A and B are shown apart, each in its own frame.
Chain A
Amino acid sequence: MGSTERSEQPVITKGIDKFFLNFYDILKFVLRFFKEMFTPPYEGREFVRQCYYIGNKSLLLITLTGFITGLVFTKQSRPSLAEFGATSWLPSLISIAVIRALAPLVTALICAGKVGSSIGAELASMKVTEQIDAMEVSAINPFKYLVVTRVMACMLCVPLLMAYTGLVAMTGSYLDIHLNEQTSLAIFVQNAFEKISFLDFFSSFIKTLFYGFTIGIVSCYQGYHATQGTQGVGKAANVSVVISMFLIFIEEIIIVQVINMLR
């Protein structure tokens, strides 16, 4: 009994220590990002390259997923509205759902999977093969070159991709409504935007800005602090996706609460 108590106590203390040390490390990493972001020289070329990669990597998947989301959501909603003879409300319902929730979430989750894992694995691989150290000893600031550019590219591209997802989802929805209700494009657009306010667009933009920051910073942190050789590369990619997705849902809850208070 006594020996059990002696062995358990340090494990708990060690766990708490580790939690606070990790938290401190993450906080330092985030603060360093903001400091380096506003300090010249600016890595414009690498930032543009990263934006291209992020957009390019996710575009096809986002097109497919966005289109299917709009189409399926319309098909699923029609029977319920038809019971009340309210199928003419479909465009409004879909636009509210897509712009307020579906487009930001679908975009963020796809980017967390595609972009987050890719950034996590790339930086982890650079870390374990000493490429990051090689930059440091060549008097190049690897944090600015690798981390700041990627996080900023995520912060720019996720909102842009969200706008694109919304457009594609609404296209999918329109096609279904047009084929079933013979609604013209002009009426569809008019109905869709009737119930949408500036606050809806603005809140979605703010949400995706946070999601982009989360995906970028989490995956860069995991990659930048990778250990254990090639095993660490896989772990960094995996943990980047899991933590990013978890944080995206937490942020969604918080931001929705704040927006509802403002509404």
Chain B
Amino acid sequence: MKPFTPEIHWDETVISIRDLYKSFGQNHVLRGVNLDLHRGENIVVLGRSGTGKSVLIKIISALLYPDSGTVNVLGLEVETLKHDELRDLRLKIGFCFQNGALYDSMTVGENLAFPLRRNMPHMSKRERDERIATVLEAVGLSQTINQMPAELSGGQRKRIGIGRTLILRPEIMLYDEPTAGLDPITCTDINNLINEVQKRFKTSSIIITHDLACAKATGDKIAVMKEGRFIKEGSFEEVFSDNDELIREFYDYNFIQ
């Protein structure tokens, strides 16, 4: 359970998805997805591999476009935005990739400075350094500032990936499998970090995972995805009190693990 009560504004929707469909050839990945994310809320999207979870957040950040349906982010219809409008919107959305996606040729400090230099060219060096120091402190890796990504562990790479996203002070965070491939202790650290980010930076988040511990620790709401649509939504307890075969399978598998 969460160690704090998040401040959720139920009257303010930051992401609203309606009747979303997406196919890749004959592979129908999303088949009518509906979702509302409120300001300050963390929604965990649970599901097996290949159910369309990552495609969903890639559509939200306009890395992919839907075949039909609407995605409204902070009051803007994503698929209708012009280049400059999309650029401005992307500054408000943070996307944390599964493996961190750190730029190999840059140090940790340069990885964090890069989005700032590109998007806020008038920011002074002192201000930039201060912001980098704040973010590194928030993810607990201040000592890695001069290290190259290749010198970091998997957990550290994910933390720096989250830090690089936070550097632009986004309102929305999208996490793609934040705990995949990590040991249980590092998973707990990442879960705590996701909660810390929600509390400290007042973000609203969608967390894509198949890890129940992560879902339980970070989600204010759980949405279970099966074959491209949500089959169950609610709090962790509500969802897992269900006797649906898939949900039981999920629970048993994670419990055994």
Chain A: residues with CB nearer than 8 A to chain B? Answer: 125-126, 129-131, 133-134, 136-140, 145
A140 and B118 contacting across the interface, CB-CB below 8 Å: yes
With A and B bound together, what is the CA distance between A126 and B63 in angstroms? Answer: 16
**Given the complex, which residues of B lie within 8 Å of A133, measured CB to CB?**
63, 95, 97, 101
Minimum C-beta distance from A121 to chain B (A) = 12
With A and B bound together, what is the CA distance between A145 and B114 in angstroms? Answer: 12
A131 and B103 contacting across the interface, CB-CB below 8 Å: yes
CB-nearest residue of chain B to A136: B63
A129 and B101 contacting across the interface, CB-CB below 8 Å: yes
CB-nearest residue of chain A to B116: A138
B90 and A130 contacting across the interface, CB-CB below 8 Å: no
**Does B99 have its Cβ within 8 Å of any Cβ on chain A?**
yes
B99 and A129 contacting across the interface, CB-CB below 8 Å: yes
**Given the complex, which residues of B lie within 8 Å of A136, measured CB to CB?**
63, 90
With A and B bound together, what is the CA distance between A61 and B252 in angstroms? Answer: 61
**Does B91 have its Cβ within 8 Å of any Cβ on chain A?**
yes
With A and B bound together, what is the CA distance between A134 and B98 in angstroms? Answer: 11
With A and B bound together, what is the CA distance between A131 and B100 in angstroms? Answer: 9
**Does B93 have its Cβ within 8 Å of any Cβ on chain A?**
yes
CB-nearest residue of chain A to B94: A137
**Does B198 have its Cβ within 8 Å of any Cβ on chain A?**
no
Minimum C-beta distance from A129 to chain B (A) = 6
* B104 contact from A125, A139, A140, A145, Cβ within 8 A: A125
Chain B: residues with CB nearer than 8 A to chain A? Answer: 61, 63, 87-88, 90-91, 93-95, 97-99, 101-104, 114-115, 118-119, 164-165, 168
B101 and A131 contacting across the interface, CB-CB below 8 Å: yes
Known: A131-B102, A133-B63. 20 other contacts (CB 8 A): A125-B104, A126-B103, A126-B104, A129-B104, A131-B104, A133-B95, A134-B97, A134-B102, A134-B164, A136-B63, A137-B93, A137-B94, A137-B95, A138-B115, A138-B164, A139-B91, A139-B168, A140-B114, A140-B118, A145-B118
**Given the complex, which residues of A lie within 8 Å of B164, measured CB to CB?**
134, 138
B101 and A130 contacting across the interface, CB-CB below 8 Å: yes
Tally of contacts, chain A with chain B, CB under 8 A: 53
**Given the complex, which residues of B lie within 8 Å of A139, measured CB to CB?**
87-88, 90-91, 115, 118-119, 168
**Given the complex, which residues of A lie within 8 Å of B61, measured CB to CB?**
137
* B115 contact from A125, A126, A140, Cβ within 8 A: A140
CB-nearest residue of chain A to B168: A138
**Given the complex, which residues of B lie within 8 Å of A145, measured CB to CB?**
118
Taking each of A129, A134, A136, A138, which has the highest tally of chain B beta carbons within 10 Å of its own beta carbon?
A: A138
**Given the complex, which residues of A lie within 8 Å of B119, measured CB to CB?**
138-140
CB-nearest residue of chain B to A137: B95
With A and B bound together, what is the CA distance between A131 and B103 in angstroms? Answer: 6
**Given the complex, which residues of B lie within 8 Å of A125, measured CB to CB?**
104
With A and B bound together, what is the CA distance between A136 and B168 in angstroms? Answer: 14
A138 and B118 contacting across the interface, CB-CB below 8 Å: yes
A134 and B118 contacting across the interface, CB-CB below 8 Å: no
Minimum C-beta distance from B6 to chain A (A) = 24
With A and B bound together, what is the CA distance between A125 and B93 in angstroms? Answer: 25
Minimum C-beta distance from A138 to chain B (A) = 4
A137 and B99 contacting across the interface, CB-CB below 8 Å: no
